[in-house]
Amino acid sequence: MLRIFIGAALAVLFLGALAPSRVFAGEALQPHSGISLASTPPAVRYCDSMDLVSLQARYDPLRGEVGYQDVAIAHNVPLTNPIWYQAVSAFGAGLGRAFLVQNALTSAPPAWGGRHLPFCNFLHVTWESDTASSQLQSALARRDQLITALWCTRARMERGDAPETFNPYLLVLGWAFGPSGQGLDSILYPIAFPVMGDTLAQGYVNEARLASLNILNTMDPAQCGA
């Protein structure tokens, strides 16, 4: 995993990063109970041992940078270094969005209220399997599928479909997407930035905006069922 962050740290240094605020400073960024991550499977052991309050505070995909900071600290990455901190935060923000996308496009996602434990496991397993970049790229590859689902979600919201009939992850992304798709950048840019850098990520988002308009103009909202 460290080799990914070497590249990411350089990208942050030369291209500039999102640099989310460090919400949990000091003791909140220490490994929650000092347990060793040497056993197998360490991710499950670490996450399952957390109390619910700590789990909810640290592992929310809507604030993925906080969760990945906790993962990094647990794996002895020195976040006192601002370059490492920004790189970890950028990957965490992207992985939070990727987790939402992954679950928005599945038929049986975890309950929204219980999202924290699956997200904790997702982040730790991603770190330990060295698959952060591939997770982000996988989410980006589903761009058109996601955009179609988001336009359908907005159509159903405007139609007044009952909230309990929606995939909750897709509903959350649908609110971020907005009635005219103006929030697409806030969903895709954090996923693209860690693996592309700022310039290419901006280009990707610009292409996504055009794809979004094309999808809207060619789709039939009547086909958007529950």
pLDDT recorded at residue 64: 97
Yes or no: say if 141 and 204 are a contact pair by the CB < 8 Å rule: no
Q: What is the pTM of this model?
A: 0.81
pLDDT recorded at residue 7: 41
* Closest to 19 in 3D by CA, of 9, 7, 28: 9
pLDDT tens digits, the chain, 226 residues: what are they? 544 443 444 333 322 333 333 222 222 233 333 333 333 446 667 898 899 999 999 999 999 999 999 999 988 888 898 999 999 999 999 999 999 999 999 989 999 999 999 999 999 999 999 999 999 999 999 999 999 999 999 999 988 899 889 999 999 999 999 999 999 999 999 999 999 999 999 999 999 999 999 999 999 887 787 6
Distance between CA 6 and CA 39 in Å, rounded? 26
Distance between CA 167 and CA 157 in Å, rounded? 12
pLDDT recorded at residue 45: 78
